[in-house]
Amino acid sequence: MAVNRTSKPRGKIIDIPTAPIIGAATAGAASAEVAFTAPTVGGPTFSYTALSNPGSVTATGTSSPITVTGLTAGTSYTFTVRGTNPSGNSEYSTASNSVVPTVATAFESIATVTVGTDNPTTITFSSIPSTYTHLQIRGIGRCGRTDGDNNYILRFNSDSASNYAFHRLNGTGSTVSATGSATQDRINVDFALSSPWIGTSNFAPLVLDILDYTNTNKFKTVRYLVGFDSNGGNRDRIALGSGLWRSTSAITSITLQADASQTLSQYTTLALYGIKSS
């Protein structure tokens, strides 16, 4: 008996891709970002694989750059990249530049501002990434005021309405005082920088935490610690404070301003950090 055989049409065969053109590798925390350019000849590329040397650690992606994780901090690496489609794999590219990943940490620098000879009245951190859990500002500073103490005015997202509250405890070594306000247009940070109290060459240190800054279900809270030594004067001080911003908006910018229209002295430095923790 005759058998009727019907053959299925064969799909179009595509070419194996050619090797990508390697770009720059950039070190990260126990990781590296590998850039490349897709080839302009050969078959289409559906995915790419980056390969480390040493260690043969791989990572895949559909476009440049590819982030390779799981690397060893302090080890020098180069990377190659190949493309893949249903017909197979390309050759690996030439090797990238050499990079050395850093130690993975939950505490990462975002930006640092140091005051120059222009003596501004404010320092602003803008376009703050939303990839962290909390923020911290560390710094040293002083202002040009010559007739008394000076505070920093702290505001978020350029909000100058009466949406803030603060409380602080001050200790001078001989006396203790407490101040606060439930309705303010700023958070007062007792960053006493003025030359009558700490001398013309002394700077006051500050550590300020901003908690859950991306949480859109709660108000934002602040806590800070500041202190200075007046070299035997009567204005030695340590202050512990807290603040509240009555907003559920995620914080995207932070402004610290010298109060009473004062300027910030040269070499005042503030550094913003992101904290990846629960």
Q: Give CA–CA dist 130/110, Å, rounded.
A: 11
Q: Residue 29's domain spans which residues?
A: 21-89
Return the pLDDT at 198. Answer: 52
Are 144 and 265 in contact by the 8 Å Cβ rule? The answer is yes
**In a domain? residue 98:** no
Q: Which of 25-39, 101-115, 200-214 has the highest mean pLDDT?
A: 25-39
pTM of the model: 0.63
Residue 4 lies in a domain: no
Is residue 67 assigned to a domain? yes
Q: Are residues 64 and 182 in the same domain?
A: no
Question: How does pLDDT run across 171-200, given as a tens digit for each residue?
Answer: 877 788 898 999 999 998 876 555 455 555
Model confidence at 12, in pLDDT bands (50, 70, 90)? Answer: low
32 pLDDT above the threshold of 70: yes
Tell whether 197 and 67 lie within a shared domain: no
Residue 4: pLDDT band (50, 70, 90) is very low
Number of domain units in the chain: 2
Q: What is the C-alpha separation between 47 and 64, in angstroms, rounded?
A: 10
Contact 57, 68 (CB under 8 A): yes
Quote the Cα angle for 19-39-29, to 5°.
Answer: 70
239-266 pLDDT, tens digit each: 899 999 999 999 999 999 887 778 888 8
Query: pLDDT (tens digit, 9 = 90+) per residue, 115-174?
Result: 999 888 899 999 999 988 999 999 988 777 666 666 788 999 999 999 999 998 888 777
Asked whether 52 and 72 are in contact (CB, 8 A), the reply is: no
Same domain? 199 vs 151: yes
The confidence score (pLDDT) of residue 200 equals 58
**Is residue 56, in this structure, part of any structural domain at all?**
yes
* Domain assignment of residue 8, yes or no: no
Report the amino acid identity of residue 253.
Answer: S
Judge if 47 and 140 occupy the same domain.
no
Indicate whether 139 and 218 sit together in one domain. yes
State both tokens at 159: 């909000």
Please report, to the nearest 10 degrees, the dihedral formed by the alpha carbons of residues 270, 194, 185, 154 taken in order: 10
Burial class (CB in 10 A: 0-12, 13-18, 19+), 174: exposed
Q: For residue 30, what are its two tokens?
A: 């126990």
221-244: average pLDDT = 81
The CATH number for 261's domain is 2.60.120
The helix (H) or strand (E) run that includes residue 168 is strand 164-171
The confidence band for 7, taking pLDDT boundaries of 50, 70 and 90, is very low
Residue 81 and residue 112 in one domain: no
Name the domain boundary from 59, 89, 119.
89
Please classify residue 7 by burial: count the beta carbons closer than 10 Å to its beta carbon, then call 0-12 exposed, 13-18 middle and 19+ buried: exposed
